[in-house]
Structure 1
């Protein structure tokens, strides 16, 4: 499905192992909105990232002649213009819980786990910025257990993270964990509840393009694309 005019191609400027880009990709795929993915290697000369987004951040969505930035804002916009299947609940208190959890992963989880681990183990190599700092990696991998415990506590009483239906909160969490899983930095044996939750979301058709990602010079873990892991 394409919600834009026939002559307007929807483009997502992204980078493969960005959780924020992956979050938007999941929403677009879940809603069956056709999109052209354009990789923006923003660290290389010639990148037009600042022209597309003065904040210098990805993703950027070009849709209906507009350039849209900030993953949470983009995802909620997409949910409003293409309400099926819904990723934000109807009740205000339930939408609050979804937004709270999106913030948890995009802010707290990203700061404590995704950003430090991915920076040291992936982006330093890709951008040729030197060797990883093992202490930073160790701290990030230690912090992930706290977050897995929190997810387990939620999933013990809910079918999905924010309640009994899948929401944007699940896609946000999965976007971060999938980046770490690419480099085999999630111990799925730590929590059966979290592993079962991830297996459910990983098996959705919307996840297929993520599982096909391959960052040059950084190979995915052997189990990364397997649905039975």
Structure 2
């Protein structure tokens, strides 16, 4: 099992949490030719990360790969419950990937600007709104780690880091912080965050 990834990518971190939780082993390597290169696009036409090579087949898109791994190694089940519960998990996961994470990513080009920049303040407000919306989708407890939960811890780590960098007010609610504590109790999450946090800080320092 070969994983094409870059260390600081949120979606690569999300998939590593799935791999860890499933007790799978993998070889991780950077995209051939570098991210965005034609060499890598010859392998993955969309050029996206992560990508997984397994048994002679290649998959891209973290969501598709995560569901593949969940079926490949059924235990522990990360898409449990009846059809409605599974739909709720997918709903939450897609909201993270299509609403919350893009609102965070929109701040990346602004890193290094003055913290009183009005564009930063405006986008910080958008991100805060997305977090509030995300909170309405969360279950009351975290009895097990689902596919919807693997991107959130890393995204919130970024949010805390950027709050300090941009000198913005913290926007993680008490309920969301409590939910994250429940997620961090899973070894797959805590192990990934232990490795990911210094990578993030190194990347921020380089900016």
TM over 0.5: yes
Please report how far the alpha carbon of residue 66 of structure 1 lies from its aligned counterpart in structure 2 after TM superposition: 1.6
Please point out which of 139, 158, 167 is paired with 2:146.
167
Whether the aligned pair in 1 keeps the contact of 2:14 and 2:151 (CA below 8 Å) is yes
Query: C-alpha deviations, 1:165-222, integer Å up to 9, x for none?
Result: 43111113224223334445696674111111112223422121343231554249xx
Residue aligning to 1:37: 28
| Counterpart-to-counterpart distance in 2, 1:17 and 1:132 | 24
Using the size of structure 2 for normalisation, the TM-score is: 0.80
| Counterpart-to-counterpart distance in 1, 2:175 and 2:83 | 27
Secondary structure of the residue aligned to 2:153 is helix
| Counterpart-to-counterpart distance in 1, 2:114 and 2:76 | 41
| Counterpart-to-counterpart distance in 1, 2:114 and 2:6 | 20
Secondary structure of the residue aligned to 1:68 is strand
Whether the aligned pair in 1 keeps the contact of 2:100 and 2:134 (CA below 8 Å) is no
Whether the aligned pair in 2 keeps the contact of 1:28 and 1:34 (CA below 8 Å) is yes
- The structure with higher relative contact order (CA 8 Å, sep 6+) is 2
Is 1:110 paired with 2:101? yes
Residue aligning to 1:192: 174
- Structure 1 unaligned residues grouped into runs of 5+: 1-9, 126-130, 221-229
Cα 1:93/1:14, change in 2 over 3 Å: same
Please point out which of 76, 83, 89 is paired with 1:98.
89
Deviates more, 1:164-173 or 1:88-97: 164-173
- Structure 2 unaligned residues grouped into runs of 5+: none
Whether the aligned pair in 2 keeps the contact of 1:118 and 1:180 (CA below 8 Å) is no
Whether the aligned pair in 2 keeps the contact of 1:61 and 1:68 (CA below 8 Å) is yes
After TM superposition, what 4+ stretches of structure 1 lie above 6 angstroms from structure 2? none
Cα 1:187/1:194, change in 2 over 3 Å: farther
Count of equivalent residues: 196
Please point out which of 77, 86, 93 is paired with 2:77.
86
Secondary structure of the residue aligned to 2:84 is helix
